[in-house]
Structure 1
Amino acid sequence: MKLSRYEQESILNCNAGEQTATLYTRDKAVMRKLDTLVADFPDIYKLTGQDEVSKTYSFPKSYVSYRKPRAVSTEQRERAMQMMIANSRAKGD
């Protein structure tokens, strides 16, 4: 079944009373990432349900992360660009 981009949602549910977070998703990219985590870390990440268009996962709430945006200065951006150009030239691209 083909879903629109709008329908490819992910819903994270966690509360203060439990140590487990639940993630419901219809996004194939998120499913691939979580399926890899389930395969690599079965004692931490669990697939708790699925149907033809969605999957539900559970994992420790402490694995949910909120981060501030990374601030990159103009100087850092320029240095990174120069490194990429140098690497590209070294590979012969």
Structure 2
Amino acid sequence: MKRQVELTFNGITALIESDDEGFFNLNDIWHSFKLPEAKRPKNWRDDMRRVLFAGAKLRSEKGQIPKTLADEDAVYAYAGWVQPEFAF
């Protein structure tokens, strides 16, 4: 079931939509807010891998356009890592 999450940061509001399984592409957040390379989802994923992969809240997909997919809890965890002032 598709879901949507609205995030606001630095005066920019973005509506992020999940896939049919309820996973959100964290790269959409990274691109929407034009975040620096240091805040790329891959960097966060490497830090959080042990915690979130164990609970099946985070997965990565390889391909022509690699994706980091996350459930809604992990979306907020990523947003908080990017900037603690993210408004939910």
Q: TM-score with structure 1 length normalisation?
A: 0.38
Specify which structure has the bigger relative contact order, considering alpha-carbon pairs within 8 angstroms and separated by 6 or more residues: 2
Report which of the two structures shows the higher radius of gyration computed on alpha carbons: 1
Length-normalised TM-score, structure 2: 0.39
